[in-house]
Amino acid sequence: MTSQYHAVQEAWRKDPFGFWLDAARGIDWTKPPETAFDADGGVYGRWFPDGELNTCHNAVDRHVIAGNGARSAIIHDSPVTGSKRTISYEALLAEVKALALTLTELGVAMGDRVIIYMPMIPEAVFSMLACARIGAIHSVVFGGFAAKELAARIDDAAPKLVLSASCGIEPTRKVEYKPLLDKAIELATHKPGAVIVKQRPELEAALIDGRDHDWEALRAKAMAQIDAGTDVPCVPVKATDPLYVLYTSGTTGKPKGVVRDNGGHAVSLHWSLKNIFDTDAGETFFCASDVGWVVGHCYIVYAPLLRGATSILFEGKPIGTPDAGTYWRVVAEHGAKVLFTAPTAIRGIRKEDPEGEMPKRYDLSKFTALFLAGERADPETLLWAENALDRPVIDHWWQTESGWPIVANPLGLGLMPIKRGSPTVPMPGFDVQVLDPHGQPVGANDMGAIAIKLPLPPGALPTLWNADERFRESYLSQFPGYYATSDAGFLDDDGYLYVMGRTDDVINTAGHRLSTGEMEEAVGTHPAVAECAVIGMADDLKGEIPCGFVVLKKGTDKDRATIEKELVAIVREQIGPVAAFRQVLVVDRLPKTRSGKILRRTIKAIVDDQPFDTPATIEDPAALDEIRTIVRDQ
């Protein structure tokens, strides 16, 4: 099929507001929007300012009302516990109503925040939808973060209640959520009034009297009330009201609370699942991420459900649960049309199955394409996957902030020719430009900062939680009139974008977004550390892993190996295992400019064995020699 991409892009360019009002017709509104965009609202304008809707109604109720209640909504496939469970739209509605009633009875009302700290179990999805049903704002925190990170999010979001589970299952250990949560609440200044805990058969968590509640007991009570006639209606909210806050790494230790509003979110995700991912009602979508990340919010939970599709909720890893064929088994068994994962997962699979034998063992007849995002997709990995799967492998680029793909190859509109190494072309709504340091567009094929001309489209962040000024400073002040993505790259002659890397100190480890600045803050809390630099070091499997260099305070008598071990433990304790911080080296001095700026890019070039020019402003060139020697000896 010839791609309709250019025609659709042209339609959007000609009438951007009409384009999105038209897309908004795919959503049920309690008050349909008459105005697409209010340029005077919010920080840079607001989408659908006069619309009202309920996201849970659109994701659940309306499919049941339309007579599709028996259709599968969620398939939980959990190789780590050996269990599988299919939940129909009707059953999902019953669960969400029961939890929404429970939340209401515990005092949660419209606009209140609820933190969800859960593994990949259906109750995590029920939790998000129950909040949406009553107009509460959820904030999901990824399980791989440490108590201190969770505490920072509790203090920023000030939740009335926390929803959690007794444990998550990692291949090598059980992650005990409850002690981590208890510790986080102890560390936080804000104290949530209640905690609801889903006890899993693998581990029973201790509950604190007066604060903690058992999930099943509350569920049974709420179900009985609903059976007796209690109604739990969807609460209409303004399109501009927040649906969720999702924290992501910035350049400092304080995570940024990305706000997602209800209206723009529903419209953009509903549009994107069909037009980008070519998946619609009744078809099955498999997004192998985690509900703690933006990809999980959008393409495990909301987009498939808004469209009436079936979503696979996978609790496992691409390798080792039990083998590198597990994704293909899931695709075949549940008839997934599309798989969406991170390149790191495919690199992991390729390592275990270099010849691509595993996919051949399964019936992949319904499977049409593999989508990859979260980090740069290296051409070798793309090529391996194309050969092993004999299907298009589609790289696409986006961010927690954008809420849906900025640049992609839209399968639903007909694929554009694939150029390996490029996530392809901007999606409607995103006017992507490459700018020089003065904010002027550069020519084709010239590298620069990737920016998006304002306004951002529906679904992208309107601001940061309680931090309009930080939003302006972080994203809008560098290039007036543009949103700065903090990624660098270039557009080629055909308008294809190439994303080459971040311009700040954010790194991508196994598709997880991490701040090296935050790791430096953690390392700096060790009493023997005088100064430090953490850089992202190239890694075959995870793309990049953090690597620290530290200078010790004079007179430190502990041996270097002990200090290095302690520093690894500190980062794990303060940020979490997901940081994958395992490598740290003690040096006599760090290379710096004469004005005292640490030359992190030069250190990274040495570690990655890449060519570099010694900066003219370097204070002490011998510091580079020391790093070179230490790295060579590793």
Q: Which does 317 bind (CB under 5 to 8 A by kind): ligand COA, ligand AMP, none?
A: ligand COA
d(CA 83, CA 554): 56
- For ligand COA, the closer CB: 61 or 487: 487
Q: Say whether residue 87 binds ligand COA (CB under 6 A).
A: no
Q: Which residues pair with 47 in a beta bridge?
A: 37
Question: Which residue from 342, 377, 461, 570 is in contact with ligand COA, where contact means CB under 6 A?
Answer: 342
Helix residue ranges, H only, 120-168: 122-134, 147-157
Q: Which does 416 bind (CB under 5 to 8 A by kind): ligand COA, ligand AMP, none?
A: none
Alpha carbon distances (Å) from 621 to 208, 497, 610, 613, 634: 58, 37, 17, 11, 21
Pick out residues in 160-199 that bind ligand COA (CB under 6 A).
168, 170, 175
Count of residues for the chain?
Answer: 634
Asked whether the beta carbons of 143 and 171 are under 8 A apart, the reply is no
> For the window 531-570, what string marks contact with ligand COA as x by the rule CB under 6 A?
----------x-----------------------------
Helix residue ranges, H only, 257-365: 262-275, 294-296, 303-307, 326-334, 343-352
- For ligand AMP, the closer CB: 62 or 513: 513
Pick out residues in 199-258 that bind ligand COA (CB under 6 A).
none
Question: Which residue from 129, 578, 598, 606 is in contact with ligand COA, where contact means CB under 6 A?
Answer: 578
Asked whether the beta carbons of 471 and 463 are under 8 A apart, the reply is yes
Q: Say whether residue 395 binds ligand AMP (CB under 6 A).
A: yes
Pick out residues in 270-329 that bind ligand COA (CB under 6 A).
288-290, 293, 295, 317-319
Alpha carbon distances (Å) from 267 to 25, 262, 306: 8, 9, 9
DSSP E strands in 137-201: the ranges are 137-140, 161-165, 167-170, 173-176, 194-198
CB of 265: closest distance to ligand COA in angstroms? 18
d(CA 559, CA 586): 10
- For ligand AMP, the closer CB: 374 or 458: 374
* Strand, helix or coil for residue 316: coil
Q: Say whether residue 168 binds ligand AMP (CB under 6 A).
A: no
What would the two tokens of residue 240 be? Answer: 């501009």
Q: Which does 175 bind (CB under 5 to 8 A by kind): ligand AMP, ligand COA, none?
A: ligand COA
Q: Which stretch binds ligand AMP (CB under 6 A): 363-371, 389-397, 529-537, 573-581?
A: 389-397
Q: Say whether residue 487 binds ligand AMP (CB under 6 A).
A: yes
Q: Say whether residue 373 binds ligand AMP (CB under 6 A).
A: yes
Pairing of strands 72-78, 83-88: antiparallel
What would the two tokens of residue 15 be? Answer: 């009438």
d(CA 454, CA 535): 32
Q: Say whether residue 294 binds ligand AMP (CB under 6 A).
A: yes
Q: Say whether residue 345 binds ligand COA (CB under 6 A).
A: yes
Q: Which stretch binds ligand AMP (CB under 6 A): 83-91, 144-152, 323-331, 367-375?
A: 367-375
Question: Which residue from 79, 159, 359, 374 is in contact with ligand COA, where contact means CB under 6 A?
Answer: 374
Pick out residues in 257-276 that bind ligand AMP (CB under 6 A).
none
Among 148, 143, 183, 142, CA closest to 575 = 148
Instruction: Provide, for the chain, the percentages of residues in helix, strand and coil under a 3-state DSSP scheme, each rounded to the nearest 5.
Output: 35, 25, 40
- For ligand COA, the closer CB: 268 or 602: 268
Among 389, 277, 284, 299, CA closest to 334 = 284
The answer, yes or no, to whether the previous bond of 455 is cis (omega within 30 of 0) is yes
Question: Which residue from 102, 248, 284, 515 is in contact with ligand AMP, where contact means CB under 6 A?
Answer: 248
Question: Which residue from 502, 542, 592, 600 is in contact with ligand AMP, where contact means CB under 6 A?
Answer: 502
CA atoms within 13 A on the CB side of 321: 21
| CA dihedral sign, ordered 614, 615, 618, 624 | negative
CB of 631: closest distance to ligand COA in angstroms? 23
Question: Which residue from 159, 348, 410, 458 is in contact with ligand COA, where contact means CB under 6 A?
Answer: 348
Asked whether the beta carbons of 300 and 255 are under 8 A apart, the reply is no
Asked whether the beta carbons of 536 and 507 are under 8 A apart, the reply is yes
CB of 384: closest distance to ligand AMP in angstroms? 17
Question: Which residue from 41, 45, 322, 577 is in contact with ligand COA, where contact means CB under 6 A?
Answer: 577
Question: Which residue from 262, 284, 344, 399 is in contact with ligand COA, where contact means CB under 6 A?
Answer: 344
DSSP code of 24?
A: G
What would the two tokens of residue 620 be? Answer: 């002490």
Q: Which does 548 bind (CB under 5 to 8 A by kind): ligand COA, ligand AMP, none?
A: none
**Helical axes 147-157 vs 177-187, angle rounded to 10°:** 50
DSSP per-residue string spanning 227-244: HTT---PPPPEETTSEEE
Pick out residues in 128-147 that bind ligand COA (CB under 6 A).
143-144
Among 326, 496, 271, 507, CA closest to 396 = 496
Question: Which residue from 433, 508, 516, 583 is in contact with ligand AMP, where contact means CB under 6 A?
Answer: 508
What would the two tokens of residue 241 be? Answer: 């009201």
Torsion angle, alpha carbons of 21, 248, 173, 568, to 10: 160
- For ligand COA, the closer CB: 112 or 323: 323
Q: Which does 455 bind (CB under 5 to 8 A by kind): ligand COA, ligand AMP, none?
A: none
Question: Which residue from 400, 424, 474, 515 is in contact with ligand AMP, where contact means CB under 6 A?
Answer: 400
Question: Which residue from 307, 350, 376, 600 is in contact with ligand AMP, where contact means CB under 6 A?
Answer: 376
Q: Say whether residue 427 binds ligand AMP (CB under 6 A).
A: no
Question: Which residue from 397, 475, 549, 581 is in contact with ligand AMP, where contact means CB under 6 A?
Answer: 397
Number of residues that bind ligand AMP (CB under 6 A): 18
Q: Which does 577 bind (CB under 5 to 8 A by kind): ligand COA, ligand AMP, none?
A: ligand COA
| CA dihedral sign, ordered 612, 616, 619, 620 | positive
Q: Say whether residue 80 binds ligand COA (CB under 6 A).
A: no
The answer, yes or no, to whether the previous bond of 322 is cis (omega within 30 of 0) is yes
Asked whether the beta carbons of 575 and 581 are under 8 A apart, the reply is yes
- For ligand COA, the closer CB: 144 or 458: 144
Q: Which does 63 bind (CB under 5 to 8 A by kind): ligand COA, ligand AMP, none?
A: none
- Interface positions with ligand COA (CB under 6 A): 143-144, 168, 170, 175, 288-290, 293, 295, 317-319, 341-342, 344-345, 348, 374, 510-512, 541, 577-578, 580
- Interface positions with ligand AMP (CB under 6 A): 248, 294, 373-377, 395-397, 399-400, 423, 487, 499, 502, 508, 513
